[in-house]
């Protein structure tokens, strides 16, 4: 489709062509007339009265009578000079006028074309800039969307990992709790056997039971420590999970610390067992025969280590019992606060 500027160019060119042709025709007419006039003048001294009447307004051409034919009549040469000068002046003025007009038109057309080209370049540059800004905006939106999707995937992955970790730790917690109960019961059985061997007296079996009770006490301590560690780990994971999901989601039974039975009785039982065994071992060490058998059987260091372990484990059991009880109380308080928040919604 032709632009408005191009249409204006076509109109200007058409008018310039028409004007130029008209000027050329007029100028050509005057020049042709001058040539004919000059030829006629040089070939005869007489002209048509009609031609002289045309130039009667010029100096030297007063009337037709001045150049009427006759033996004494003739043409005044000054009239020819005046006519020639007039034609030359008219032609020069016409030529320079047309030339000036055409130059101005061409300059105007050049300026319009330059302005049009500049406008086209501006539009192209504006379009390129707009396209670039749109592409940058689309790229930024795409990057932001990709980043948001990636963050959401990471969040869901972390939620899944934390939930699986809580479930896994709860299973281990139950297993450790069951193992603790079994170990405490086994300690009581070995304590009873140890009493029988001391009363018998059965020296070798007695010291076997001492070593066994010491080993069981160490394993019981490990269970209490592991339960305490599991509680801390689960609470830590729950804290992380609360930052990724609503705190109310933590009321899900699968995401809470499994409430194991109160193991205060087992802890006290294990502690009492260790205290009783420690007293019996002390009595056995005072007995020469028990002491001699202890020296003879498998090295004194092993027996001494077991005996020292009895006293150490007794103190540690009391500390672990206090830590586990405190941890359970904190958990129950946290769970109660969450339930109160849920009722408030």
pLDDT digits (tens, 9 = 90+) for 177-194: 889 889 989 989 998 999
pTM for this one? 0.52
201 against 22, higher pLDDT: 201
Pair 70, 46: CB distance under 8 Å: no
Domain map (residue ranges) of the chain: 4-140, 162-344
Q: pLDDT at position 345, please? A: 42
Angstrom distances, CA of residue 76 to CA of 44, 81, 172: 13, 10, 142
In the numeric block, the tokens 């006629």 are attached to 40
How far is the C-alpha of 4 from the C-alpha of 52, rounded, in Å? 52
- Cα–Cα distances (Å) from 336 to 251, 261, 288, 331, in that order, read 10, 18, 59, 9
User: How many angstroms separate the Cα of 303 from the Cα of each of 24, 38, 311?
Assistant: 139, 158, 13
Separation between Cα atoms, residue 304 and residue 298, nearest integer Å: 11
Report how far apart, in Å, the C-alpha atoms of 237 and of each of 59, 230, 249, 303, 340 are: 123, 10, 13, 43, 21
For range 136-153, the mean pLDDT = 91
Separation between Cα atoms, residue 41 and residue 32, nearest integer Å:
14
Mean pLDDT, the chain, rounded, equals 72
pLDDT per position as a tens digit, 93-116: 777 777 777 777 788 888 888 898
């Amino acid at each position: 489709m032709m632009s408005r500027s191009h249409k204006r160019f076509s109109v200007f060119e058409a008018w310039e062509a028409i004007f130029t042709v008209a000027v050329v025709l007029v100028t050509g007419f005057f020049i042709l007339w001058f040539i004919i006039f000059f030829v006629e003048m040089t070939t005869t001294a007489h002209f048509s009265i009609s031609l002289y009447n045309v130039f009667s307004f010029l100096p030297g051409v007063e009337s037709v009578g001045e150049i009427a034919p006759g033996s004494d009549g003739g043409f005044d040469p000054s009239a020819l000079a005046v006519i020639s000068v007039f034609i030359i002046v008219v032609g020069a003025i016409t030529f320079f006028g047309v030339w000036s007009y055409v130059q101005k038109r061409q300059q105007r057309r050049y300026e319009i074309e330059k302005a049009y080209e500049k406008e086209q370049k501006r539009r192209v540059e504006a379009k390129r800039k707009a396209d670039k800004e749109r592409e940058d905006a689309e790229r930024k939106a795409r990057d932001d969307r990709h980043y948001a999707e990636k963050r959401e995937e990471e969040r869901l992955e972390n939620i899944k990992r934390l939930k699986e970790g809580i479930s896994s730790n709860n299973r281990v917690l139950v297993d450790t709790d069951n193992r603790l109960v079994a170990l405490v019961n086994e300690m009581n059985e070995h304590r009873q056997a140890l009493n029988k061997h001391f009363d018998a007296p059965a020296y070798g079996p007695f010291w076997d039971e001492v070593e066994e009770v010491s080993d069981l006490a160490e394993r019981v301590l490990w269970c209490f420590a592991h339960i305490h560690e599991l509680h801390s780990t689960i609470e830590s994971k729950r804290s992380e999970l609360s930052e990724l999901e609503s705190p109310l989601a933590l009321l899900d039974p699968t995401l809470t610390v499994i409430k194991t039975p109160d193991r205060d009785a087992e802890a006290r039982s294990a502690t009492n067992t260790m205290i009783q065994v420690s007293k019996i071992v002390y009595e056995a060490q005072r007995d020469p025969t028990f002491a001699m058998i202890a020296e003879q059987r498998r090295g004194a260091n092993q027996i001494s280590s077991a005996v020292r372990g009895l006293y150490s484990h007794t103190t540690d059991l009391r500390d672990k019992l206090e830590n586990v009880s405190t941890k359970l109380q904190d958990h129950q308080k946290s769970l109660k606060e969450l339930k109160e928040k849920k009722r408030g919604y």
